[in-house]
Amino acid sequence: MASRKVPIKAVLIDLSGTLHVENTAIPGAVDSLKKLRGTGIPIKFVTNTTKESRRCLFERLIGLGLELRKDEIWSSLWAAQDLLRSRNLKPMLMVDDAALEDFSGLTDYGEEEQNAVVIGLAPSMFNFSQLSKAFRLLLTGAGVPLIAIHCGRYYKRCDGLALGPGPFVRALEYASGCHSEVVGKPSPTFFRSALGDVDPAYAVMIGDDVKDDIGGAQAMGMRGFLVQTGKYRTGDESRISPGPAAVCPSFSEAVDILLKEYAQSEGDS
Amino acid sequence: MNLLKNPRLNGVLLDVTGVLKDGGTAIHGSVEAVRKLREAGLKIRLVTNETQVTRRALAENLLDLGYPVQELDIVSPCPALISFLQRENLRPHLLVHSNVLPEFEGIDQSNPNCVVLGDAAENFTYEHLNEAFGILINMKKPRLFSLGRGRYYSDKEGLMLDVGAFTAALEYAADVKAEIIGKPQPEFFRSTLKDMGVEPEEAVMVGDDVVSDVGGAQDCGLTGVLVRTGKYRPSDEKHPTVHPDAVVDDLAHAANLILESRK
Ligand SMILES: [Mg+2]
Ligand SMILES: [Mg+2]
């Protein structure tokens, strides 16, 4: 791996498949995270989720022995509430009940006040009458945004595959003619909001999803380190062009590269 | 002013929902308009993507409203789909309105090898959509049929999502392209004209859906007239790709225009 002189100002780390798989930490991840912390480089934990609130994610990760602060978690749900607040929007929320706690203060707008539609995963609202209501809201005027937590086609449920948010976003787009804003990975908005004012050129994304993590991050100017854990499948690195800035057996090796680069940039200064 | 100068005009295709009726009532002036067109000797078909009721029920409903029509005047996607399913040996999984289930009596629905979506309205629940999706995703070559692909229609509660929205959802989820039966599918217009014995340039379609009615008809060489009733919205007149031959307030005005054009 060629060493670089560019200082690293932020590291974004995917959760599922990169730091843990279900309720088990990836071997070496806890210690490597501790070592990365030693550099003092700001870290954000980034994940696409439609039902886990920040608190819920936090508790899970702490339970795995990972060291982090709650405000370092940047999920697609969190990005959505951040966007709503920054634009002063009053949403019709189609999200899982468990996710509502991330939207405190944004949940009680009456139908006449609502001026945005947010699609997460809400099976109890994904029906003719509620979707038609969302559709009518989108038509009430220009500038009612359709905000998608992410556009996943489907997900695995204990009884088989089930429809994700994506199909319902497409349904509303088709009927209303408007385009959704996707707040989760791989949307550039997501990475930008997670980075705050850090220049993407100085940031690294570590993840196991070659398209959403690596492709998405690299498309907006970050470097992407692909880990060969979680959902990684042989040959994934050649599915995007340009390929990942680094391909690592696991999170630990990705951190080793960062530590080496960090030592070098410190040595130069 | 006459936008439709066409002495050969001989056949009239009328959309039903939003042109003849809205919710449960006749649109003002439309009954009289159909009568006038009939009396002028024009051939008329009611070309609808309506799949919430059978053709028979729709005919009865229109008769009740005072329209001089019968079941045979109505062209709807269900009969076209059913003969297609039979020809191709397809066994459908149906996600349609419970009112149209009688149309599918006698069609083998065991061990389905395709999915059929109609305007299922309240039947569009998450679980029903999941069920249809589960069938599609487990097929080697998924086949999805959509009865029309309307975006929305107007109902008592306001604008409601039409089948096209749910078709788009399943297309995306199962990565499949739906086969459309109904407007704006060209075959649907062509077979209707053939049955009427009318050439495309001798026919006019009147509808409230700028894409499905007007655009679909124009693509087949018919004249397309948009009415400002039903689901019409002012933005339809600035549609990026469809430019109606005429836009009029309602069917009464359209009928006058049509009768004028033949002089
Ligand atoms: Mg992952
Ligand atoms: Mg109509």
pLDDT digits (tens, 9 = 90+) for B99-144: 999 999 999 999 999 999 999 999 999 999 999 999 999 999 999 9
Q: β-strand B92-95 against B74-75: which pairing, if any?
A: unpaired
**Per-residue model confidence (pLDDT) at position A264:** 87
pLDDT category at B23 given cuts 50, 70, 90 is confident
Residue B3 in this model has a pLDDT that exceeds 70: no
Superfamily of domain A10-48+188-268: HAD superfamily/HAD-like (3.40.50.1000)
B3 in any annotated domain: no
Q: Which residues of A touch B162 (CB under 8 A)?
A: 175
Residue B136 belongs to some domain of the structure: yes
H/E segment holding residue A205: strand A203-207
Q: B222 by DSSP, 3-state: which?
A: coil
pLDDT value at position A4?
A: 53
Q: Would an 8 Å CB–CB cutoff place A155 in contact with chain B?
A: no
User: B212 and B169 share a domain?
Assistant: no
C-beta atoms of B120 and A171 within 8 A: no
Interatomic CA distance for residues A205 and A197, integer angstroms: 16
Specify whether B97 is located in the same domain as B156: yes
- Count of CB contacts below 8 A, A vs B? 91
Tokens at residue B58, please?
């729709």
How would residue B155 be classed by pLDDT, with cut points 50, 70 and 90? confident
- Which position has the token pair 């993840």? A207
Q: Which of residues 24-63 of B touch A (CB under 8 A)?
A: none
Nearest to B130 among A135, A136, A163 (CB): A163
Nearest CA in chain B to A153: B173
Closest CB from A154, A174, A177 relative to B173 = A154
Ligand at minimal distance from the CA of B47 is 2
Cβ pair B95, B128 in contact under 8 A: yes
ipTM surpasses 0.90: no
CATH superfamily of domain region A89-182: HAD superfamily/HAD-like (3.40.50.1000)
Residue B7 confidence (pLDDT): 86
Domain assignment present for residue B243? The answer is yes
- With tokens 């980075």, the residue in question is A195
Count the domains in chain B.
2
Residue B105 and residue B86 share a domain: yes
* Percent of chain B whose predicted confidence (pLDDT) is above 70: 99
DSSP B37-53: HHHTT-EEEEE----SS
Average of per-residue pLDDT values in chain B = 95
Q: Which positions in chain A touch B126 (Cβ < 8 Å)?
A: 123-124, 126-127, 163
Q: Which of B135, B152, B180 is the last residue of a domain?
A: B180
Residues B221 and B256 in one domain: yes
Residues B20 and B135 in one domain: no
CA distance B221 to B186: 10
Domain holding B36, by residue range, is 10-76+183-261
Q: Of the candidates B146, B180, B214, which is a domain's last residue? A: B180
- Same domain for B167 and B86: yes
User: Does residue B58 contact residue B79 with C-beta atoms inside 8 Å?
Assistant: no
pLDDT for position A158: 75
Q: Do A162 and B121 touch (CB under 8 A)?
A: no
Instruction: Give me the residue spans of the domains in chain A.
Output: 10-48+188-268, 89-182
Residue range A238-250, pLDDT digits in tens: 999 999 999 999 9
Q: Domain check: are B68 and B29 in the same one? A: yes
Surrounding ion ligand 1 within 5 Å at CB are: A 14, 16-17, 208
Q: Is the confidence at residue B2, as pLDDT, over 50?
A: no
Phi, psi of B58 (to 5 degrees): -65, -40
> What's the pLDDT at A36?
98
Q: What tens digit of pLDDT does each residue of B168-227 get?
A: 999 999 999 999 999 999 999 999 999 999 999 999 999 999 999 999 999 999 999 999
* Residue B204 covered by a domain: yes
Q: Enumerate the β-bridge partners of residue A247.
A: A226
Q: Are residues B138 and B167 in the same domain?
A: yes
**Looking at the CA of B154, which ligand is closest?**
2
Residue A175 is nearest to which of B133, B165, B173, comparing CB atoms? B165
Ranges in chain A, pLDDT < 70: 1-5, 268-269
Asked if residue A29 lies in contact with residue A250, where contact means CB atoms within 8 angstroms, the answer is yes
Residues paired with B47 in a beta bridge: B75
CATH code of residue B158 = 3.40.50.1000
**Could you say which DSSP state residue B215 is in?**
I
Same domain for B162 and B83? yes
The per-residue pLDDT for A25 is: 95
Tell whether B1 is covered by a domain: no
C-alpha A58 – ligand 1 centre gap (Å): 16
Distance of CA A75 to the CA centre of its chain: 5
- How far is the centre of ligand 2, averaged over its atoms, from the C-alpha of B132 (Å)? 26
Q: What is the pLDDT of residue A1?
A: 47
